[in-house]
Amino acid sequence: MTTKLSVGVTRKVGRPNFGSACATCQLEIEIDHTLMNDHADPFTERIRRTFDLCRQEVDRELLQHADGPSSRREAINGNVRTRNGTSQPQPQASRVRPATDAQIRAIHAIASKANVRLASELDAEFGVASPQNLTLRQASDLIEKLKGQITAS
């Protein structure tokens, strides 16, 4: 006997000029009924992984909308214009390393455990919609911050 698990994540973010972008991910998986009764930890982990996958896809979709002309960050003559309108030199591409896949997975897992709205945190701290857009250093800093929020609660 199997049980169906439906997971959904929807996120809507505001854009300049009263615009918005919305993304939704809905997944339905079947889980062996015995897994629910005998092994609560694997069942819970399966649910978390499914939610993490949905969150990643929603972040990826919203990032595509953020890259348009109404983006909060836009590259201008080699500089990055931030939300407050200031211009910052863009680091050399060869020196900036992107976040690793392991860091991205850790960010999703720790944010979920800390009950942190990841998209809001990423936007507020780094001006990005997805952990895939973080640098190695930014991802490391965020992981430490999120871990601190778990131990504080």
Phi-psi region of 35 (alpha: psi -120 to 50; beta: other; left: phi over 0): alpha
Q: Catalogue the E-assigned strands of the chain.
A: 2-15, 19-32, 74-76, 79-81, 87-89
Q: What is the pLDDT of residue 41?
A: 75
Average pLDDT per run of 10 along the chain, which is 153 residues long? 82 79 85 66 79 86 62 38 44 65 92 89 86 89 90 68
